Amino acid sequence: MILKKYKFYYYVGLNFILTIIAGPAQLTAEPPDIDQWFHKAVILKTYKQSYDWHIPWEKGEITTQTGMAMVVHLPEPPNSPASENASRKNLYLLTTTEMVADATLIEATLKDIRTPFQAELMLMDYAANLALLHIEKEKFWDDLKPVQFYPVKETSNSDTKSVKSLTIKSLDEWEFESGTIERMAVGYREKSDAFFPVLKLSGLSKSEHGYPVLQDNKTVGMIIDSGGVEGVKAIPAGMLLEFLLHAGSDLYQSLSHRGFRWKRLPQRSMADYYGIPLDKSGIWISQVLPYGTGSDVLQHGDYLTKIGRWELSHDGKIMHPKWGLSLFDLLFLDQLKVGDSVELSLIRDRKLIASQTKIATYENDRRLIPLKSVGHSPRYIIQGGLLFQELTMNYLSMWGKNWKSRAPLRLRMYLEQNNSVLIQSEEKSTELTSVKSNMSKKQPHVVLVTQVIPDELNIGYQKLSNAIVMKVNGRSIQSLDDVSEAFANPKSEFHKIDFIPGSERMSVVMPVNKLEESNQRIKANYRIPELYSL
């Protein structure tokens, strides 16, 4: 009897020990099936040739880049035929704009087919770093299946923090590498001056642009930045699904975005001046952008205290229902969608105000200075050797990584949209093309003479550079289209170009009857393909 009792305790104890040892292994998720990813992702290779924005009719050297694209499915339009062919036509490749920007050729390669397929860029959202590609040949899509995206789980323990991504050794050797979700954050994309929710990851040293992020074997994001001081960044599935949901719309602009810049109140005296109570937390609106959520109702100097039901801290943070204390931009991940109505609570002129607005998007074409232009050639006009261009971030970037201190001050000041130089935006008109662009030719921009190409007609003007154009032949200039029309309608026997004060010259005059001869001479001497690019 005693022996049986000891045996009972022995087996119970042994079973307990084995449970402890084997438990974690049982709880650990099965490793992802690498074979299925041969049918969900493809290897991309792009050949890039960027334009020289100093000599806008020429391009630089050809460079190559490799990365990945995931197969995705756009939501079916209403009343569409439910057939396999219709579904296949709705398959696309999702990658980053950094992979395809300025690409002259995009090649997609499948595991079992060595000959690459040529891909076509269909949609580019440069602000969010997302791009959509399509391939016409039906054979390409035969064995491919779209990726299913899932929301990121809260990273409350080590299991949910653990993620995996692909690493590609060759066309046949695909493996997974393990990493960790550091946190869900709000990422700033300097190239487009945009703020979007991102997953900050560590441990993924071999994953590149367009690679998937897997949590519990489910795709929860896509890597959009694989290097830099801040490590690997991925855009979460919620934003990817929002992009795909609206990608089929002709009116697609970008993802939801805030329409203002903000600061913490720097001094108590400012709070007293604006009539802000000591115990009232919130953020001070330092600049209203020409687009985005709240841009239609907010004013400089407003003190924003709530967005919808979410109260703002002095550091611009809210208590997110899933991710805890986070910057308010994280609301655009899953709480606030484009077109939703939201109430903004604020203090203005010492009064509490509730303003109703709608969740709006990032719109590069609403900016006085477009922050990045990709996918098409630079716009320019040459008249009598004067090279007219619109001021863009591409142009400012010619001064290198330190352009913010090296570029001419009179050009940089436009980025701050100072009231003394701000040109008011007109109502936007959308032009639909096969490749949807964020640039609109109808928007007012800063026009300048970037340089003077030497010719006998412009002797004396050849040192003129980066001069901001105010008028041509008496016409106010707010775009290159205005320049073209003004030269077509001279007021006298001379063309007259007026610049804003502070330029090397206040005006330039050129005889009308000699301009065309000069243009053709310059075109031939300098081998310029076209004198206009609009």
Dump the DSSP string for 298-329.
--TT-EEEEETTEEP-TTSEEEETTTEEEEGG
CATH numbers and ranges of domains, the chain: 27-250 (2.40.10.120), 260-360 (2.30.42.10), 367-533 (3.20.190.20)
Answer whether 233's CB lies under 8 Å from 201's CB: yes
CA distance 35 to 33: 5
Sequence-ordered alpha helix ranges (H) in 135-208: 158-161
CA distance 458 to 519: 11
Higher local confidence (pLDDT), 305 or 50: 305
Over range 498-508, report the average pLDDT. Answer: 88
Q: Quick check: 528 pLDDT over 80? A: yes
Q: Rounded to 5 degrees, what are φ and ψ at 162?
A: -75, 130
Which has the minimum average pLDDT: 37-41, 86-90, 141-145, 394-398?
Answer: 86-90
pLDDT, tens digit, for every residue of 194-251? 899 999 999 888 888 899 999 999 999 999 988 666 679 999 999 999 999 888 877 7
pLDDT of residue 416: 64
Give the helix/strand (H/E) hosting 22. Answer: helix 2-27
Query: Mean pLDDT for the chain?
Result: 84
pLDDT of residue 375: 61
CA distance 166 to 138: 26
CA distance 506 to 477: 15
State the CB neighbour count (10 A cutoff) for residue 389.
26
Per-residue burial over 171-184, b if 16 or more Cβ lie within 10 Å, else e, is eeebebeebebbeb
pLDDT of residue 504: 79
List of residues 6+ apart from 176 with CB closer than 8 A: 31, 32, 34, 164, 165, 166, 167, 214
CA trace torsion 376, 369, 194, 99 (10° rounding): 20
CA distance 123 to 253: 10
Which pair of tokens denotes residue 95?
Answer: 């990658």
Q: Quick check: 164 pLDDT over 60? A: yes
Q: Which residue has the tokens 């190559």?
A: 64
pLDDT of residue 403: 86
Range 113-119 contact pairs with CB under 8 angstroms and sequence separation of 24 or more: 114/171, 116/45, 119/44, 119/69, 119/93
- Report CA-CA distances (Å) from 266 to 269, 303, 428: 9, 13, 36
Of 442, 509, 503, nearest to 473 by C-alpha is 509
State the CB neighbour count (10 A cutoff) for residue 40.
16
Q: What is the DSSP letter of 153?
A: P
CA distance 472 to 203: 57
Which has the minimum average pLDDT: 61-75, 175-189, 371-385?
Answer: 371-385
* Whole-angstrom Cα Rg for the chain: 28
Q: What is the DSSP letter of 491?
A: S
Q: Is the dihedral of CA 62, 66, 71, 77 positive or negative?
A: negative
pLDDT, tens digit, for every residue of 18-71? 344 444 433 445 677 888 999 999 999 999 988 888 999 998 899 999 999 999
Note the Cα 405 to chain centre separation in Å. Answer: 24
pLDDT of residue 6: 45
Which has the minimum average pLDDT: 80-94, 141-155, 177-191, 330-344?
Answer: 80-94
Note the Cα 154 to chain centre separation in Å. Answer: 26
pLDDT, tens digit, for every residue of 379-404? 999 999 999 999 988 898 889 888 88
State the CB neighbour count (10 A cutoff) for residue 456.
10
Q: Quick check: 325 pLDDT over 60? A: yes
Over range 268-294, report the average pLDDT. Answer: 88
pTM of the model: 0.82
Strands 494-499 and 475-476: unpaired
pLDDT of residue 293: 96
pLDDT of residue 441: 43
pLDDT of residue 21: 43
- The confidence band for 77, taking pLDDT boundaries of 50, 70 and 90, is low
Q: Which residue has the tokens 């591409």?
A: 394
- Coil, helix or strand at residue 522: helix
pLDDT of residue 156: 76
CA distance 270 to 286: 12
CA trace torsion 406, 411, 416, 420 (10° rounding): 140
Q: Quick check: 85 pLDDT over 90? A: no
Cβ-in-10-Å burial (0-12, 13-18, 19+) of 311 comes to middle
Of 376, 427, 368, nearest to 393 by C-alpha is 368
Q: What is the DSSP letter of 140?
A: G
DSSP letters for 262-286:
EE----HHHHHHHT--TT---EEEE
Q: Tell me the sheet residues that pair with 344.
A: 307, 355
Strands 475-476 and 117-118: unpaired
Q: Is the dihedral of CA 320, 359, 252, 417 positive or negative?
A: negative
pLDDT of residue 511: 97
Q: Rounded to 5 degrees, what are φ and ψ at 421?
A: -125, 5
